Structure 1
Amino acid sequence: MRATLHASAALIALVSCAPVAKGQTAPADPASTQNAEAVDATETGQDATGEIVVTGIRQSLARAAEIKRESPAVVDSIVAEDIGKLPDLTTASALQRVPGVQVVVGGNNEIVGARIRGLDDIVTTLNGREIFTGVGRGFSFQDLPAEALAGVDVFKSSSAERIEGGVAGGVDMRLRRALDFKELTIAGSARATYLQEAGSDNTLNPAASLLVADRWSTGIGEIAAMVGISYQRNKYARPVAWNDWTRATSAAPAGSSPNLQAPTGFAAAIEFGHYERPQANFSLEWAPDSTTKFYVEGLFAGYRGNVFQARPTFRGFTGTAFEATAGDTCEDFAVGPDGYYSGNVRSATNPTGTGTIRQLCNATGYTARNIEYYTATVANRARTDIYVLATGFNKEFGALTWNTDVSYESSTNRNNSFRVDIGKRIAELVQVRDVDHAVQATMPGNPMNDPAGLAFANGMTEDINRSRGTLWSVMSDMKYDFDGGLLDYLQGGVRVARRKAGFEQYLGGPPAPGGSFVTPLSAAGLPSDILVQAPGVPQMNDGASFLQIDPNYLLEEDIKRQLRTLYRISPNTPAFDPTRDYDAQERTIAGFLQAGYKFSLSDTVTVDGMVGARLTRTSRDIAGSGRVTDPATSTSSVVLVRRSTSDTDLLPNASARIKFGGGLQSRFNYSKTLSRPSFGQLNPGLSYVVSYVSTIQNSGSGGNPDLKPQKADSFDASLEYYFGRSNYVSAVAFYRDIKDRIISGTEVRTIDGLQYVISTPRNLGSARIKGLELGGQLFLDFLPEGLDGLGVIGNFTVIDSEVTTPGDRLEGLPLLGVSKYNFNAGLIYEKYGISARAIYTYRSQYFDADITNGLSLRPVSIPVGLNGIRAAGRLDFGLNYEITPDITISLAGTNVTGQKTRNFESRADFVREVRNDDTTYSLGIRFNF
């Protein structure tokens, strides 16, 4: 007895992770795809049949709570309310509701960039199989429309049977499968969305989906087929305004106050255009008997976009006068001879330094006269195609289950971008540095809307890139369930994968013909209607429109050839630059062994869990190119660089879950996880470009073939209480000890006598992250009739992160991209055919980039330059009304409070940028027959 108690105590003390029934072999969908789900009558009360049927929001939340409760891992789920109805309009938008998940708003106003507990090293799977976009490790969640999904599971802990690759955790997106449907089912949806920022040019943006499934009983067993398609098209606009780099006014025009620090100018941009997302998926399943299933399934997800930008820039220091208003904050800055930041300050220990320490006061605003102005017009045509095809089987031999899956993915991304700048001198720019933590500027008379005097400015730039990634994968595992005893089951399996990635690019272009502002636009022989009105930016001239090159012309090859000739280069499309290309091959062999256990401590207290390990070996070959200059002859040549690397890792895990009875349970998890560097990060080549704009640094980028995989020891402990009709509260404490975290930093290099700021990845060394997640949902069934349809949902996460690498310039600072606080708070209502929710999502301030080697001045009291994002929150809502049991209409809104994204440099009072996030409203209809 004593030995048993000691063994029990040891097992309870294990800390680990293990997911729901999601092995490495495309498991069965844990979320029912039936039109309605019967919930246990002991929890929900009874009707005349002894069951109560729950649909809509409550059904999806109840099923998500069930997955959370039954999983031995720390997992949160999102379940579709009905076919084609994830709770939010996009996958990434739905993910932001999960405790501990943080997101950002992308350039086209979509929610993107999901992070789990502040970390973006996520392995993404589709029906249990790894999926990615292009040549990256990650997946762009916006590439898969929400209408296609039955649900999403967010794994915050790992276990041996899960595919390795996510220090932060994993996200599994679940498509529906044919055998989930019992009879002929035809379901679909249609909606129109209004995007506020698109303004008068806006149209109602359509989205539609259709799913058809059926099932047949035949002489050879059950056969089922399902096909789903969806399409969406959005026309959008996203305005941005920012201060240019901060500089000492001693570098401003003669007569300017010499002892201030002010932005060198003002810039704005508006990204606009349209994009389309077609998607199709299918599932064929055959069950010859109750113990056997064969399947074939596939997915196509596409993106088509014509993305335009208009970027007006005003160079405040290029004029004849610069009159700044002094603020009351004066500090010491490290100033170089050019008035920008200097990392080479003269001192007793550095007598040859070129920079000096100077006391400068802040300029709260300025008026600049007779300055250079230009508008960059960018036209980009983009296309992404993702194909996934898989086949396999699930077979039961009594207590033994055998699963095998073979899959192939191809992901191709193409971008073709063309940029031309036009500009002139304007009489006056009036800029205010901080207006509601944003920048604001006016140009009296709006001279940017007058074509007189416009000339070609700066250089012409083309960015043509192609990337393709492929993955072959074979996964097979077995599980044996024991009948009683301490050992519950034993499972093991293997995965063999081969990944290829290829990237090629041309990026560059010549300076303006004859120099900036020399060749008039009118002398170029371009079409007479080459100029069009660009959408305005609210922070510039109160949103007034301005002229730009018609970006649609820049998509036409004839116009491109004409412009290349004007810029005195070959009219033909430029060839790819070998210094920017790379090819990679990666082979992974992984095997796992895991045992589950369970036992009772008393009549009401039981313990279960698992102990296992995953062994993985990865070998890769990557080839890139760099340009090398011979110092003797000053000639340069392209040199091919090849590197081969390999690594072997053992990833153990263990878990214990204690069920105390009455709905109270606790779990303790431990796992070692890893994230491999992306192929772009490993590229041994180096490329760089010379800037034709004095306020923009020469820049370049390169990979680092010596990068190590990131690894983490991950600990989770939770206490959860489930009660009433699908209610719960939970608390999860977590800790991550991270080694060799990869970040992108900058360093200054001198190449052929010119200085470049080179962006390159590096292993940070060590870091830690810890925190607490609180969450729950409560349906207020005890309220009087009519109000008993109310419910509340919410979660709160606090994260403490720190770089712990001794001597690193980021030591002691939070990890980039990590907000300390994150919460969701929402109300739901479901009764009388009405289904509604309103949710407020908040994310606290965070830093997202290291700009230490940038041009911008910063006080010497701030040794590290960081780009910061202010705290922000947004309110979304959804309202559905069931016209009939089979037809529902819906109304939804996102960011209805009009929240903006506001950036700063290093310190909140150094205002940098404001991004005008969009507000959208959607009206739709769904049917399910």
Structure 2
Amino acid sequence: MKISLRASVTLIALAGGAHIAEAQTGSAADPSANQTAAGASASNEQEGDIVVTGIRQSLARAAEIKRQSTAVVDSIVAEDIGKLPDLTTASALQRVPGVQVVVGGNNEIVGARIRGLDDIITTLNGREIFTGVGRGFSFQDLPAEALAGVDVYKSNSAERLEGGVAGGVNMRLRRALDFKELTIAGSARATYLQEAGSKNTLNPAVSLLVANRWDAGEGEIAAMASVSYQRNKYARPVAWNDWTRATSAGPAGSPPDLHAPTGFAAAIEFGKYERPQANFSLEWAPDTDTKIYVEGLFAGYRGNVYQARPTFRAFTGTSFEATVGDTCEDFAVGPDGYYSGNVRSPTNPTGTGTIRQLCNATGYTARNLEYYTATVANKARTDIYVIATGFNKQIGALSWNTDISYETSTNRNDSFRVDIGKRIAELVQVRDNNHEVQATMPGNPMNDPAGLAFANGMTEDINRSRGTLWSVMSDAKYDFDAGLLDYVQAGVRVARRKAGFEQYLGGPPAPGGSFVTPLTAAGLPSDILSQAPGVPQMNDGASFLQIDPRYLTQEAIKRQLRTLYGISPDTPAYDPTRDYDAQEKSYAGFLQAGYEFSLSDAISVDGMVGARLTRTDRDIAGSGRVTDPATGTSRVVLVNRSTSDTDLLPNASARIQFGGGLQARFNYSKTLSRPSFGQLNPGLSYVVSYVSTIQNSGSGGNPDLRPQKADSFDASLEYYFGRSNYVSVVGFYRDITDRIINGTEVRTIDGLQYVISTPRNLGSAKIKGVEVGGQLFFDFLPEGLDGAGVIGNFTVIDSEVTTPGDRLQGLPLLGVSKYNYNVGLIYEKYGISARMIYTYRSKYFDGDITNGLSLRPVSLPVGLNGIRAAGRLDFGLNYDVTPNITVSLAGTNITGQKTRNFESREDFVREVRNDDTTYSLGVRFNF
């Protein structure tokens, strides 16, 4: 389709900026409000028609948003109704320069880190949105079909909501007045997941949108409704080494001076999940200067997820033989063969640990060892509802926006676990096979029901969380006709957030002890066992027996098992030491001024200066268990804490336009991220392990946590040329204080040792880097080849913990990859719209500090969980059968890339996760 330059201006205004429904997100905050010609060059000097279809149209709009925004913004724009360039929101985000993602347990791309940091404020049409009681939002819970676009803010300004040290992500739904006439659009897609294979049907995803507008006598009324549904059946195999231990703690006759994993484990997560979604928009424009709206959203998640987790305790065998590697180092070893933080020395003569030189075991064979399979059945449900109303009013040079919104987000999880096992004759394990874990059990005894007995304990995890948010936002902006001052903008926001969480987690040991009560003596149904899908790294993918997880979702079977394990058959009550309730009131006001002036006929400068003042009042109540040292008895004590924070967040920006499409940008902003309610929970809870090789553990919050803050600086040089081409270079620097991380420490409670995980303020950290990105379409090539183009971006990040004396000082921030990039090929012509993109992320350290049992060389100051570098290749192919109907084919991770973990150093192989490959076939229509 071809349209004139003037028509494209109108189209982009309607699609992105004509409806600024969100208060406090006027033109300075909503980049799409500033769009001009989607496919235009860097100036209006480009003559002729502009092709604005498919992927190129999407990229052209995104480039124009980036160019016109006063903030540092990268955007993703849906190329058609119900069609972001990727199948999911999180998948689309990974294409943005500097955004890093991970693969979740159900093989979806999840999470998002902006320049390595996950402290992100997520908004929907400018309003804060969250999942459950958290601060963040699970992007995968909002299907891509629902979105018109996504904007990733890497710098902040006063009118944007506070709450993201890393930046912010604004997801944009379509509005009713975006459509000039009756519109009916929809899509249907079927996806094949390779790991799930032929055992499951194709997974459907459908969407439908209907919109229209009418003459109301006084202005126009428009209505839009959109629904979508997707279902996925999947399988995710994982294999890993257990914690590293000195072999001197192994069976009699074990090699004395080696280190090896205490065992091998695997897991297969499988099941299905569904995501229903609906949203609507009603708008009334009584005149050209007024819009009144009501809009709402429902997003849901329904999951029935099963796990089979076979575990092999190599050190419980009667013999242990190991293959000696060629790397020998000093380790701090305790009497139990695990890591010791209490090494004997002249300054610590009572220490129980010693420094010993140990060599690596590249593989081992354990005989007559304990094995068990844990079967877990989990049922989860999430429901998010958002309703909002407000108006936009233009009175001459004054614009006034007001928005009132309410969100409720509930999350429910019910998980039931039972372990069965026995002794098996032999385990042969190879520790490092192409940086993977491999193990075989000759004869596959896990698939033989003979001798199976109940092992370890039965565990239930039942939790409920609910979060609500009332918010009122109002802002006004006055535009000046001429002079240095371009506009003045001011606004306020008042919000009230409530969060409640309750949980039971625990259960009794196996009846009579581990491996004592035979499975056949339990009186369970005769078909209680079923075949679990195999794991490629275990017995070459052979299946094995597990408790049929479908039975573990039935209340009658649960009652029977509780009785067998010697507890009440009724569903256990919530544990008060795990519950908390929080109330938070936040107040914010901002003042901001825009300016512009010319330095010459070709060079102009514009920007803004502002500040946002925020105050947060918070009350949180939790429980802890206190032990009386005299009697040894414990009791639950309610703990209440109240805190208040007041912060001033200034910002300033300048954009210099040199003419000819060349511009530079400079931004400064102070940002903050508030701790989550779970992190602030003053209670402490812990669990006794019934497995000798697994330590007792617990977790607690820290009500004294301070908000993380950062001084953020960005500078860019950007060049826009041709019809939709650009190249940009961005340098950034973040000076972070009070960074929050999870740490672990060993505590003694009632005579038992527990490794307690608790959050703390890290102190200071710095992060800096460079982003290079661009896109180029080869319009100058001969007919046929002129539909090709390339896109790409590359980010290098240097991060460092700078807190003096901290054990992490000098190390990179957790979760930050030094390098990540995207490179892609695009072709669009003759009704074909295609792209292929490779996304790469270098290694990084993630998760909690592994300050527990696992051995590590003394040369490593801390133990960290690492993720090896990896890349994924995805493609998408669309063909316009008619101007109104498009068929599509897409594939993700088509090279079969896996996620591989390590402990602190890459030669300490820890885990391999088999990431799935998917193929989708779909059709879209728009009438």
| Normalised TM-score (structure 2) | 0.96
231, 234, 239: which one pairs with 1:233?
A: 231
1:104 counterpart residue number: 102
Aligned-residue offset at 1:199: 2.3
Q: CA separation in 2, counterparts of 1:903 and 1:26?
A: 41
1:716 counterpart residue number: 714
CA contact (8 A) 1:690 1:699 kept: yes
Which deviates further from its counterpart, 860-869 or 498-507?
860-869
1:557 counterpart residue number: 555
2:619 counterpart residue number: 621
2:420 counterpart residue number: 422
2:76 counterpart residue number: 78
The within-5 A match list for 1:139-178 is: 139-178=137-176
- 2:785 aligned counterpart, secondary structure: coil
1:771 counterpart residue number: 769
The within-5 A match list for 1:126-205 is: 126-205=124-203
2:727 counterpart residue number: 729
Indicate yes or no: 2:483 matched with 1:490: no
Aligned-residue offset at 1:42: 7.6
Indicate yes or no: 2:808 matched with 1:810: yes
2:216 counterpart residue number: 218
Q: CA separation in 2, counterparts of 1:693 and 1:442?
A: 22
Tell me the alpha carbon deviations over residues 450-494 of structure 1, each in whole angstroms, 9 at most, x when there is no partner: 000000000000000000000000000000000100000000000
The within-5 A match list for 1:257-656 is: 257-656=255-654
Q: CA separation in 1, counterparts of 2:561 and 2:137?
A: 36
Q: CA separation in 2, counterparts of 1:350 and 1:376?
A: 42
1:825 counterpart residue number: 823
2:849 counterpart residue number: 851
Q: CA separation in 1, counterparts of 2:151 and 2:283?
A: 23
Tell me the alpha carbon deviations over residues 608-643 of structure 1, each in whole angstroms, 9 at most, x when there is no partner: 000000000000000000000001111110000000
Q: CA separation in 1, counterparts of 2:565 and 2:508?
A: 7
Tell me the alpha carbon deviations over residues 758-796 of structure 1, each in whole angstroms, 9 at most, x when there is no partner: 000000000000000000000000111100000000000
Gapped runs of 5+ residues in structure 1?
1-19
67, 70, 76: which one pairs with 1:69?
A: 67
Structure 1 residues 544, 619: CA separation in 2 closer, same or farther (over 3 Å shift)?
same
Tell me the alpha carbon deviations over residues 623-680 of structure 1, each in whole angstroms, 9 at most, x when there is no partner: 0000000011111100000000001000000011000000000010000000000000
CA contact (8 A) 2:110 2:140 kept: yes
CA contact (8 A) 2:31 2:66 kept: no
Structure 1 residues 748, 196: CA separation in 2 closer, same or farther (over 3 Å shift)?
same
- 1:60 aligned counterpart, secondary structure: helix
The alignment-based identity, stated in percent, is: 88
- 1:542 aligned counterpart, secondary structure: helix
Tell me the alpha carbon deviations over residues 851-874 of structure 1, each in whole angstroms, 9 at most, x when there is no partner: 342211111111210110000000
- 2:420 aligned counterpart, secondary structure: strand
Q: CA separation in 2, counterparts of 1:440 and 1:33?
A: 55
Structure 1 residues 98, 829: CA separation in 2 closer, same or farther (over 3 Å shift)?
same
What letter is aligned with 1:733?
G
Q: CA separation in 1, counterparts of 2:199 and 2:702?
A: 45
| Normalised TM-score (structure 1) | 0.96
CA contact (8 A) 2:189 2:920 kept: yes
- 1:788 aligned counterpart, secondary structure: helix
- 1:352 aligned counterpart, secondary structure: coil
Aligned-residue offset at 1:549: 0.4
Structure 1 residues 95, 655: CA separation in 2 closer, same or farther (over 3 Å shift)?
same
Q: CA separation in 2, counterparts of 1:37 and 1:656?
A: 23
Q: CA separation in 1, counterparts of 2:925 and 2:593?
A: 45
CA contact (8 A) 2:41 2:725 kept: no
Q: CA separation in 1, counterparts of 2:297 and 2:839?
A: 32
Structure 1 residues 522, 42: CA separation in 2 closer, same or farther (over 3 Å shift)?
same
1:249 counterpart residue number: 247
Q: CA separation in 1, counterparts of 2:20 and 2:775?
A: 24
CA contact (8 A) 1:409 1:470 kept: yes
CA contact (8 A) 1:270 1:310 kept: yes
Aligned length: 906
Structure 1 residues 181, 44: CA separation in 2 closer, same or farther (over 3 Å shift)?
farther
Structure 1 residues 216, 41: CA separation in 2 closer, same or farther (over 3 Å shift)?
farther
What letter is aligned with 1:116?
I
1:11 counterpart residue number: none
Aligned-residue offset at 1:22: 9.3
2:673 counterpart residue number: 675
CA contact (8 A) 2:90 2:109 kept: yes
CA contact (8 A) 1:27 1:127 kept: no
- 1:590 aligned counterpart, secondary structure: strand
Aligned-residue offset at 1:200: 3.1
CA contact (8 A) 1:803 1:810 kept: yes
Tell me the alpha carbon deviations over residues 360-388 of structure 1, each in whole angstroms, 9 at most, x when there is no partner: 11000000000000000000000000000
898, 908, 927: which one pairs with 1:910?
A: 908
Aligned-residue offset at 1:52: 3.1
Q: CA separation in 2, counterparts of 1:813 and 1:166?
A: 23
CA contact (8 A) 1:38 1:51 kept: no
- 1:824 aligned counterpart, secondary structure: strand
2:785 counterpart residue number: 787
Aligned-residue offset at 1:436: 1.0
2:16 counterpart residue number: none
CA contact (8 A) 1:26 1:405 kept: no
What letter is aligned with 1:305?
G
- 2:57 aligned counterpart, secondary structure: helix
Aligned-residue offset at 1:54: 1.1
Q: CA separation in 2, counterparts of 1:27 and 1:515?
A: 65
CA contact (8 A) 2:686 2:698 kept: yes
What letter is aligned with 2:131?
T
1:7 counterpart residue number: none
Tell me the alpha carbon deviations over residues 501-538 of structure 1, each in whole angstroms, 9 at most, x when there is no partner: 00000000000000000000001010111100000000
What letter is aligned with 2:675?
P
Tell me the alpha carbon deviations over residues 831-881 of structure 1, each in whole angstroms, 9 at most, x when there is no partner: 000000000000000000343422111111112101100000000000000
- 2:58 aligned counterpart, secondary structure: helix
- 2:196 aligned counterpart, secondary structure: helix
Gapped runs of 5+ residues in structure 2?
1-18
Aligned-residue offset at 1:27: 5.4
CA contact (8 A) 1:159 1:671 kept: yes
Structure 1 residues 42, 704: CA separation in 2 closer, same or farther (over 3 Å shift)?
closer
CA contact (8 A) 2:34 2:68 kept: no
- 1:836 aligned counterpart, secondary structure: strand
CA contact (8 A) 2:38 2:64 kept: no
Structure 1 residues 38, 739: CA separation in 2 closer, same or farther (over 3 Å shift)?
closer
Indicate yes or no: 2:922 matched with 1:927: no
- 1:602 aligned counterpart, secondary structure: coil
CA contact (8 A) 2:41 2:723 kept: no
Q: CA separation in 2, counterparts of 1:325 and 1:773?
A: 46
1:13 counterpart residue number: none
- 1:197 aligned counterpart, secondary structure: coil
Tell me the alpha carbon deviations over residues 182-229 of structure 1, each in whole angstroms, 9 at most, x when there is no partner: 000000000000000112312100000000000112212110000000
Aligned-residue offset at 1:32: 9.6
2:701 counterpart residue number: 703
